[in-house]
Amino acid sequence: MSILADKNTRVLIQGITGLQSSFHTRRVISMGTNVVAGVSPNARDKSYLGVPVFSSVHEAAQKTHPNASLLFVPAGSVKSAVFEALNEGIKLIVSIAYGVPILDILEIHQKIKKCGAVFIGPNTPGIITPNEACLGVFPEGICQQGSIGIISRSSTLAYEAILETNRAGLGQSTVIGIGDDMIAGTSFNPLLDLFFSDEQTKAVVLIGTTGATYEQEAAEFYQKAKNKKPLIVYITGFEEENDMGYASDILTHGKVTAQDKKQLFKNAGATVIDNIDDLHLALKNLI
């Protein structure tokens, strides 16, 4: 099993004919992703890269019945693209775009909640279930099918966590980058809940940052969770009060340090590491 995306996920790619989209579409298909359709408003051909192409999400949905969408559209177009997908009943949407306006994200949040959907991103490598589905820009060959779930606020450190779980010989069930921007499309908590219910996942790695309150909320959730699994946490940032430069630091005025967040997770019963290179050792001690 896995969470959110697997070999049965029917993926629509919005903006499929762009230069970057073309590159990454080839890669996600090569990783086994079931790409059933693409959308390009100015499409002249009926197929692209072997994928049926339509001029609207509505037409694509009517004819191919996708249940997930990967957005390769500019930041200013993300809101409208998300709304198009939601209007067709698509419940998993991933946007890798950087710099989506905050007001747009807030509107997206409202509609996502109303529709009971999941929005991953923006500014994310996406989501991958090794050998089954990739909705994003993960490097080829980096993931190995296994038993560790990974949720990260840092795109770069998500890759580090993947390498560390490979080093431990455990691989990944599903990897999710929830987004590096000030406001993420989703928080840690619902994803932790899904991992705790997944039979394949034996432990979860959570990578947080300074700024915002996602980590505090996750620590409280973990402490109260009844059917939880081992959780290993790494928080990137200075130990002392400082401005790391993360946009989300604005929300906490630099007053919540990495050390504060580490202590909250320790109090909740999670394993906290101070160096990402120690992750494989922590995993071996837990599994």
What is the tens place of the pLDDT at every residue in 105-156?
A: 999 999 999 999 999 999 999 999 999 999 999 998 999 999 999 999 999 9
3-class DSSP state of 245: coil
Q: What pLDDT score does 211 carry? A: 78
- CB atoms inside a 10 Å sphere around CB 140: 11
> Based on the domain organization, do 160 and 39 belong to the same domain?
no
Q: Domains in the chain: how many in total?
A: 2
> Based on the domain organization, do 193 and 255 belong to the same domain?
yes
Helix/strand/coil (H/E/C) assignment for every residue in 94-126: EECCCCCCHHHHHHHHHHHHHHCCEEECCCCCE
Residue 216 inside a domain? The answer is yes
> Based on the domain organization, do 196 and 63 belong to the same domain?
no
Alpha-carbon distance of 253 to 74, in angstroms, equals: 30
Cα–Cα nearest to 186, from 150, 160, 153: 153
Q: What pLDDT score does 238 carry? A: 56
Burial degree of 18 (CB within 10 A; 0-12, 13-18, 19+): middle
- CB atoms inside a 10 Å sphere around CB 27: 16
Residue 134 inside a domain? The answer is no
Residue 65 inside a domain? The answer is yes
The pTM for the full model equals 0.93
Helix (H) or strand (E) holding 172: strand 172-177
CATH number, domain of 251, equals 3.40.50.261
Q: What pLDDT score does 130 carry? A: 97
> What stretches of the chain show up as alpha helix (H) in DSSP?
19-30, 57-64, 78-87, 102-115, 155-167, 188-196, 214-224, 249-252, 258-268, 279-286
> Based on the domain organization, do 80 and 180 belong to the same domain?
no
Alpha-carbon distance of 205 to 52, in angstroms, equals: 37
Q: Which two tokens stand for residue 98?
A: 């950087």
> Based on the domain organization, do 53 and 150 belong to the same domain?
no
3-class DSSP state of 208: strand
**273: domain range?**
142-286
Give every CB contact of residue 45 below 8 A, 6+ residues apart in sequence.
53
Helix (H) or strand (E) holding 71: strand 68-71
Residue 3 inside a domain? The answer is no
Q: What pLDDT score does 255 carry? A: 61
3-class DSSP state of 127: strand
Q: Pick from 89, 120, 151: which residue ends a domain?
A: 120
CATH number, domain of 63, equals 3.40.50.720
pLDDT tens per residue, range 79-119: 999 999 999 999 999 999 999 999 999 999 999 999 999 99
Cα–Cα nearest to 32, from 13, 1, 5, 53: 5
Residue 116 inside a domain? The answer is yes
> Based on the domain organization, do 110 and 244 belong to the same domain?
no
Residue 1 inside a domain? The answer is no
Q: What pLDDT score does 187 carry? A: 96
Tokens 């090569």 sit on residue: 30
> Based on the domain organization, do 115 and 146 belong to the same domain?
no
> Based on the domain organization, do 164 and 210 belong to the same domain?
yes
> Based on the domain organization, do 177 and 224 belong to the same domain?
yes
**Which residues in the chain land under pLDDT 50?**
240-248, 250-251, 253
> Based on the domain organization, do 153 and 282 belong to the same domain?
yes
> Based on the domain organization, do 101 and 159 belong to the same domain?
no
Residue 125 inside a domain? The answer is no
3-class DSSP state of 152: strand
> Based on the domain organization, do 113 and 25 belong to the same domain?
yes
Residue 48 inside a domain? The answer is yes
Q: Pick from 120, 154, 170: which residue ends a domain?
A: 120
- The whole-chain average pLDDT of the chain stands at 92
Q: What pLDDT score does 182 carry? A: 87
